[in-house]
């Protein structure tokens, strides 16, 4: 049962092949079997989950209809759920109990989902490997000596290891797409504003976006139907019409133009990764898509621009963690200033402190114009590059990362090398456009998954879903299971 996709489990529950309680217990049995190796979760919510499953069975027996009725879903641990620990994988929030549900959680519960637990992540979503988590790192189910990616590495690992039927992650600079790529699952970053951020603990408010991490594109479409849409509690939530994303699965992709950005295929990309992505492009051509070359000339500035803007916003957002109202408080205090300083010194990990200091520096007097203001101007140029590219193409096709999943501890002491892991995903966040990672191969040299990245215009997730689904119908990469 734990290997089912959302759509398969939904159909089985409808036909009463098994109950929601049996499905939930099967997922927890799988967690018992493999979690000690994968470490995908920070904490489980088994008591609440079984109550939700029993309620789902009651509704199913009454022939009620709901999109996710009885389906076990995992949440990245920066999404608030009422009466549940929400830690951001940080000591500073380790015992924080959320007093309310995030909007996406309300929508999941309203759709009948069973919330299995909270998945591991890089601390405050700052990282590309899920190694900066305060509790423990997560391991890649394909090779336990390698990282699952980050910062949504726990969600990616849980889906890949069949420790849930689907999951939610968040993407600030690639944190859904890169771990989906490394872990061999499907990950969709929606357009900025498509999904409410109310109840998402912020890293960088102009970049963060919640999205689905699933076994198939079709499952992502179903989750998007549930979690997307305008939310009056989030002022950045876009007031745009929400389509039925499931209808996109029926669309033909014949005649669509796919833009191939030459800047993504340069020196530094692993030959296995390039070969798999080029084979994916050929498959899309065989489905009737037309290949055109496009250019994103400011891509080389994306990493620097991102780390200026994201760290500046993190510096501001994380200033609220001071030991006064909630969260961790240092006990080594002679006065108020000591309490502030010691709480933040002890409560935050090294990577978070590094980014707070970077952000405070670029916002400081005398440096604001030189760094932060200039970063915002370059961000506009990157956005314009995509707008120009989409005048010639419907979907941009590119790699997600220049390499496959690297080994644990390989980059943890080299921040610059770690930051470059996101070189191919960051630009979509700066532009605010949607992006998706779809499995497209396995490296012959190390046996690790490879994904192809699809990007489209603002609020055109439908094209991504149509192309990704047709690709999965034509290939079997997404069906492969890790040798766990």
Selected catalytic residue, list 90, 132, 138, 151: 151
* Strand pairing report for 395-399 and 257-261: parallel
Catalytic residue check, 138: no
175 assigned to active site: yes
> Strand order of the sheet with strand 186-189?
41-44, 114-119, 72-76, 166-170, 210-214, 186-189, 435-442, 449-456, 395-399, 257-261, 290-294
406 token code pair: 């690297």
Distances from the Cα of 352 to the Cα of 124, 224, 347, angstroms: 7, 30, 10
d(C-alpha 393, C-alpha 408), whole Å: 38
- Quick check: helix, strand or coil at residue 97? strand
Query: Cα dihedral angle (127, 130, 136, 142), rounded to 10 degrees?
Result: -160
Task: Find the catalytic residue in 175, 237, 276, 393.
Answer: 175
Annotation marks residue 76 as catalytic: yes
Tokens 């046996």, residue located: 447
Which of the residues 10, 76, 106, 457 is marked catalytic? Answer: 76
Q: How far is CA 11 from CA 5, 6, 15, 61, 422, in A?
A: 10, 9, 6, 14, 37
104 secondary structure, DSSP code: H
DSSP-derived secondary structure for 365-417: TTTIIIIIIHHHHHHHHHHHHHHHHHHH-SEEEEES-SSSPPBTTSSTT-HHH
Cα separation of 105 and 74, whole Å? 10
Taking the CA atoms of 14, 215, 238 and 261 in sequence, report the sign of the dihedral they define. Answer: negative
Which residues does the annotation mark as catalytic? Answer: 76, 151, 175
């Amino acid at each position: 049962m734990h290997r089912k996709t959302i759509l398969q489990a939904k159909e089985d529950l409808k036909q009463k092949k098994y109950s929601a309680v049996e499905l939930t217990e099967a997922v927890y049995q799988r967690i018992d079997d493999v979690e000690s190796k994968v470490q995908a979760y920070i904490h489980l919510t088994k008591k609440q989950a079984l109550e939700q499953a029993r309620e789902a069975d009651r509704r199913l027996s009454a022939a009620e209809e709901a999109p996710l009725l009885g389906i076990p879903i995992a949440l990245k641990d920066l999404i608030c759920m009422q009466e549940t620990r929400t830690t951001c994988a940080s000591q500073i929030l380790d015992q924080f109990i959320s007093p309310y549900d995030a909007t996406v959680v309300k929508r999941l519960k309203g759709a009948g989902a069973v919330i299995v637990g909270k998945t591991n992540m890089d601390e405050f979503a700052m990282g590309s490997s899920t190694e900066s988590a305060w509790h423990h790192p997560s391991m890649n189910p394909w090779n336990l000596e390698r990282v699952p990616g980050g910062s949504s590495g726990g969600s990616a690992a849980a889906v890949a290891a069949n420790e849930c039927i689907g999951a939610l992650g968040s993407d600030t600079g690639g944190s859904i797409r890169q771990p989906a790529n490394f872990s061999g699952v499907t990950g969709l970053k929606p357009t900025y504003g498509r999904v409410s951020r109310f109840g998402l603990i912020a890293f960088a408010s102009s970049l963060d976006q919640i999205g689905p991490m699933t076994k198939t594109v079709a499952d992502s479409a179903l989750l998007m139907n549930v979690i997307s849409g305008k939310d009056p509690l989030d002022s950045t939530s876009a007031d745009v019409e929400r389509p039925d994303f499931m209808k996109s699965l029926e669309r033909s992709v014949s005649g669509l133009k796919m833009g191939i950005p030459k800047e993504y295929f340069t020196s530094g990309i692993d030959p296995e990764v390039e070969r798999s992505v080029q084979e994916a492009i050929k498959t899309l051509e065989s489905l009737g898509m037309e290949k055109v070359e496009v250019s994103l000339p400011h891509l080389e500035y994306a990493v620097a621009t991102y780390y200026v803007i994201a760290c500046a916003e993190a510096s501001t957002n994380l200033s609220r963690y001071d030991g006064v109202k909630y969260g961790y408080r240092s006990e080594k205090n002679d006065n108020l200033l000591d309490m502030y300083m010691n709480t933040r010194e002890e409560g935050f990990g090294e990577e978070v402190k590094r980014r707070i200091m970077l952000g405070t520096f670029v916002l400081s007097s005398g440096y604001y114009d030189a760094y932060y203001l200039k970063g915002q101007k370059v961000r506009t140029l990157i956005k314009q590059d995509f707008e120009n590219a989409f005048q010639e193409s419907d979907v941009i096709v590119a790699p997600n990362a220049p390499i496959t999943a690297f080994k644990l501890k390989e980059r943890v002491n080299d921040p610059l090398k770690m930051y470059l892991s996101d070189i191919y995903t960051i630009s979509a966040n700066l532009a605010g456009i949607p992006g998706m990672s779809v499995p497209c191969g396995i490296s012959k040299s190390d046996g690790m998954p490879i994904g192809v990245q699809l990007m489209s215009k603002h609020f055109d997730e439908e094209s991504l879903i149509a192309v990704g689904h047709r690709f999965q119908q034509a290939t079997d990469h997404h069906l492969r299971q890790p040798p766990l």
